[in-house]
């Protein structure tokens, strides 16, 4: 990632330049440094969030403060994912330990 020298926001590729997502400033794209950059352009939500039926929740922490809408069980495995911006709380994804019903909780 490259950050703007003017405002500190993240910059994104814009042709031959890097463009600031905050203030719109641009700077030349340094192709030598790009091998070190981490990018999420090719990721899909499926890569980031365990959303498939085959996702392995077993062995994850167990929440006892929830109730499954499918069977009424009060225990579920859960994972935390940051699905919004960093200043928002994470989303909890649950899978019932009894029936396997899946749901999410936004804080």
Please, are residues 89 and 80 in contact by the beta-carbon 8 Å criterion?
no
Q: Is 88 a catalytic residue?
A: yes
Q: Which of 74, 88, 98, 105 is catalytic?
A: 88
> What is d(CA 30, CA 42) in angstroms, rounded to the nearest whole number?
20
Please, are residues 91 and 103 in contact by the beta-carbon 8 Å criterion?
no
> What is d(CA 25, CA 81) in angstroms, rounded to the nearest whole number?
31
Q: Which of 16, 53, 58, 87 is catalytic?
A: 87
| Phi, psi dihedral angles at 30 (to 5 degrees) | -95, 95
2-3 and 17-20 strand pairing: unpaired
Return the active site residues: 87-88
């Amino acid at each position: 990632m490259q950050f703007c020298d003017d405002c500190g926001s993240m910059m994104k590729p814009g042709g031959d330049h890097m463009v600031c997502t905050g203030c719109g400033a641009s700077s030349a794209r340094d192709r030598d440094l790009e091998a070190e950059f981490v990018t999420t352009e090719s990721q899909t939500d499926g890569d980031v969030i365990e959303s498939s039926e085959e996702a392995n929740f077993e062995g994850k922490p167990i929440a006892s403060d929830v109730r499954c809408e499918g069977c009424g069980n009060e225990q579920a495995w859960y994972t935390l994912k940051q699905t919004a911006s960093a200043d928002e709380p994470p989303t909890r994804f649950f899978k019932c330990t009894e029936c396997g019903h899946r749901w999410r909780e936004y804080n």
